[in-house]
Amino acid sequence: MRDPHALHMLMLERVYQSATKFDFIHCHLDYYPFSLFSRQPTPFVTTLHGRLDLPEHQPVFDEFSHLPVVSISNAQRRPLPQARWVRTVHHGLPPQLLGPRPIKPSYFAFLGRIAPEKRVDLAIHIAEHCGVPLKIAAKVDKADQDYFKQQIKPMLASKNCEYIGEISDQDKSEFLSGAIALLVPIDWPEPFGLVMIEAMACGTPVIAFNRGSAPEVVDDGITGFVVEDVGGAIGAIDRLGHLSREKVRRRFEERFTVRRMAQDYLSVYRSLMTVAEPHLRLVVDEAPAAPAK
């Protein structure tokens, strides 16, 4: 498929045509639904999943500043204070999807995707400096193929690195349980970072750079450490022994389960439906009466 946007537009049109059949609509296509859905009466909210710090976002959210949106971290909101933020809802996972395995941790882990902003090169430097093996379980998107071939692939020749490639959910528990820590040396305003809570679900501490959502997701000194740079990450390695992997898992259960996420969204739906009720009653009252049979 070369143009998925065409099918997204068709899907939105079909939802729009049947919008009155629903009590509430929850969108996950960023700003695509804004214009169309603001022209129908069913209350709706949009969760924004991506980065929002690009200049072209400003006029869009200036124009649609009245539409309710949900952030996946407070940090994600910073570039767009004019948006109508109704709540931050952190992601959650089914509690049994991933879990600790009885494996002795023996390496650092890097999980997710290989891209310039994810800085797997820094993870390699950290591991080499500490003399700890690094296992990299990550995909390479088409847009990042040149970056991978030119800058990262030569670094993988190091005997300290093992490049596994993309792994499935079925493989993550074993991969993360065997890690001393998950390294997240990001160099961009990470909107959330699902890999961090995946590690926590397995009881694995996270060492993350202080960018984007990291300080919200990682409880410093409990589920890992939030550091400023490579030097800070190297320094945090010595403190990992003070953390309890059982407490890491327990904090995941307290903060990042799918049930908590669902309850947060139900609260959002209820609040927006309550606000919309007077308008909905007006629409119903003004509708033409059905013909008598």
Per-residue pLDDT at 159 exceeds 90: no
Per-residue pLDDT band at 158 (split at 50, 70, 90)? confident
Query: What kind and span of H or E run contains 69?
Result: strand 68-71
- Measured at the CA of 91, the angle between CA 68 and CA 38, to 5 degrees, comes to 20
Query: What is the rounded CA–CA span in Å between residue 213 and residue 75?
Result: 5
Q: Which three-class secondary structure string do you get for 226-255?
A: EECCHHHHHHHHCCHHHCCHHHHHHHHHHH
Token readout for 277 is 């009720």
Query: What pLDDT was estimated at residue 279?
Result: 54
Token readout for 194 is 């699902």
pLDDT digits (tens, 9 = 90+) for 30-87: 999 999 999 999 999 999 999 999 999 999 999 999 999 999 999 999 999 999 999 9
Query: What pLDDT was estimated at residue 145?
Result: 96
Token readout for 168 is 């499935």
Question: Which residues in 167-183 are b (16+ Cβ under 10 Å) and which e?
Answer: eeeeebbebbbbbbbbb
CB 36 within 8 A of CB 58: no
Query: What is the rounded CA–CA span in Å between residue 119 and residue 121?
Result: 5
Could you say which architecture CATH assigns to the domain 107-253?
A: 3-Layer(aba) Sandwich (3.40)
Query: What is the rounded CA–CA span in Å between residue 43 and residue 273?
Result: 6
Per-residue pLDDT band at 284 (split at 50, 70, 90)? very low
pLDDT digits (tens, 9 = 90+) for 107-124: 999 999 999 999 999 999
Rounded mean pLDDT of the chain? 93
Largest CA distance in the chain: 83
DSSP 8-class letter at 118: G
pLDDT digits (tens, 9 = 90+) for 252-282: 999 999 999 999 999 999 999 987 765 555 4
Per-residue pLDDT band at 1 (split at 50, 70, 90)? confident
